[in-house]
Chains A and B, each alone.
Chain A
C-alpha cells in the first residue's frame, strides 16, 4: 500500500495511485535537491520559499475543504510572524517555543473571525475575510512599542537549532539547513492534512461544503466543524508565518499582512485542486519556481501576472484544479 492508496480515504478512490506517484516523485526530487543543484543557494532559496507557500496552500485548504473561501489568510500569517518574531527578539525565547505559540495566536485570531462571520457564507464570507485582514495589519502597524510599526522588525533570530546527544544542527546557519527545516515541516503538515482529510472529520468538512443543511440533518454540527477547520487552518498558517519570520529575519506589516500572502496560497489551493489533498502543494511547487525562474527574469516588474492568469483559467475552465483534473482523468 503506498502513501495515498489507502482505501480509507474520504475522497473518491479514483486517482489515488496518481497521488502516490506524484508524492513519491516530489519527495525524491525535493530530498535530493541540494545535491541535484550542487548547493546553488539561489535555487535552494526559491524552493524553500516554494515549500513555504506549499505549506500555506495546504493550510488554506483545510478551511477550503469545508467550503469557505478566504481572501485574507495573511491575517494569520502576519500574526504568526509577528508573534514569534517579537517573542524571540524582544524576550529571547527559543523559536522551538515561539513558533508553535505563534500558531496559537493565529488560531485565536481565527476564533474572533469566526465569531464575526458566524452567519456569513460564500461570497459574503470571502468579503469579510478581505476586510478582516486590515485589522491586525493596522494594529501591528501602529503598535510601535511592540512591533516598531511600519519600520518593521530587523534582526529576528534565525531558525532554531536541534541537539541530539553529540549531534547538533543549526537550521538557521545555512541555506541548505533552512531548506531541510522547511521541507521537514512540509512533510509533517502534509501528513497531518492527509490524516485529517481521510478521517471522518474530512467527511464532515466535505459534507458541510456540499450541503450544509443536509449535513446538519444527518447529525453534523456545521458551525462547530467549520470553526474547527478555521482554527486548524489559522494555526498552521500562523506557524508558517513564524517560520517565515525566522527564515528571512526581517518582517514588516505591509509584507506579512499583504496581498501576496493572502492571494498566492489561495491561488495555489484553487489551481492545484481544492478537492484534493496534494493539489495545493503541487501547484505551489510547480508554479512558484516556474514564475521565479522563467517569468521573473523576463518581466522584473509585473511577473506575478502569472498568478492572476492561472486563477482566471482555473475558474473558467478547470474548476477542479489541474491536479484534481489529472486525478479524474487517470
Chain B
C-alpha cells in the first residue's frame, strides 16, 4: 500500500510540476501572479477534449492545437499585464482574479458545467510490478514531465536566451542595465508558460474531470509549488511538486480523499507564515 502511495505521489507530483512550471516562470520573470492559471489549464483541456470528442482527432494531435490556442490567449493576457503599475504582485493578483472569472464564465458558456473526461483506455492499463501497479498513464506523466523539465533545463542553463531569462528573474533592473530587453523576456516567459500550460491541460483532462470551476484548485497548487520553491529556482519546483504529490497521496491513504483539498492550502499557509522565501530560504520574496 505504501509503495502505491509513493508511486502515485511521484507521478502526481510530476504532473503538478508540469502544471506549476508555467506559473512559476511567468511570475519569476515578470513578477506577475497569474491567478487565471488554472482556468487556462482547464481551457487547454477543453480544447483538446473538444477536438478529441467532436472531431475524433487522435489525442496526441490535439496537443499542438491546445498549445496554440493557449499561446494566443496568453499573448493577449500579457498585453493586459503590461499595463499594470506598482505594486506589480498585488495588482496582478487582482487583475488575474478578474481574468479568471471572465475565462471561467466563458468556458461555462461554451462548454457548460457538465463534467468531461478524455477517456484513453490505454492509459489505465499498465505494468504489474512487485508490490505495486504502475499504469501507463502514470508512466506517461512521469516521462513527459521529466522530458519537459530536461528541455527547460537545457534552455535555461545552456543557452544564452536562458541566461537572459535567469538574469531577468534575479534582478529585472540590473538585467535591463546589462542590455537585456526585459519586455521581450516578459513576452517570452508568457509564451513558454503558455506552451507548458497547453501541455498540461490535455493531460489534466485525461486524469481528472474537466469542469469550469476546477481551475481554482489548479491555481492553488501552482502557487503553493512556486512559493515552496522560492522564486527562480527550477530545482526547487521539482522537489516541491513531488513533496506535494506525496503529501496528498499519503493524506488520502491516511485520512481519506475528502481531506485532500486541504493539503495544498495548509502547506501554502505554512510556507507563507514561516518561509515565504521558499523552502531553501534563498529565493526572493
Contacts and interface: CB of A to CB of B under 8 A. Distances in A.
Interface of A: 69, 71, 116-120, 122-124, 126-128, 130-135, 138, 141-142, 259, 263, 267, 270, 299, 301-305, 307-312, 315-316
8 A-B pairs with least C-beta separation: A311-B98, A302-B109, A308-B102, A123-B89, A308-B101, A134-B265, A305-B105, A302-B105
A270 B95 CA distance: 11
Interface string B89-117: 11111110111111111111110110000
A212 to B, nearest CB: 13
Given A135-B266, A307-B98, 10 more contacts: A120-B272, A127-B93, A131-B220, A133-B265, A134-B264, A134-B265, A263-B101, A299-B109, A302-B106, A311-B97
Interface string B247-285: 000000000001101101110110011001000000001
B interface residue count range (under 10 / 10 to 19 / 20 to 34 / 35 or more) = 35 or more
B213 interface: yes
Nearest to A267: B98
Nearest to B256: A142
A119 B80 CA distance: 30
27 contacts: A71-B97, A116-B269, A116-B273, A122-B89, A123-B87, A123-B89, A123-B93, A124-B89, A124-B272, A127-B268, A131-B223, A131-B266, A135-B262, A135-B265, A138-B261, A267-B98, A270-B94, A301-B109, A305-B109, A308-B99, A308-B100, A311-B95, A312-B98, A315-B84, A316-B80, A316-B84, A316-B95
Nearest to B103: A308
B216 interface: yes
B108 A301 contact: yes
A132 to B, nearest CB: 6
B33 interface: yes
B31 to A, nearest CB: 9
B164 interface: no
B128 interface: no
A43 B84 CA distance: 38
A316 B98 CA distance: 11
Contacts of B276: 119-120, 124
A133 B105 CA distance: 22
Contact of B258 (A141, A302, A310): A141
A203 B22 CA distance: 42
Contact of B83 (A71, A119, A316): A316
B227 interface: yes
A283 to B, nearest CB: 14
Contacts of B105: 301-305, 308
B19 to A, nearest CB: 17
Contacts of A130: 35, 220, 223
Contacts of A132: 265, 269
Task: Give the most central of A71, A119, A130, A304: most B CB within 10 Å.
Answer: A130
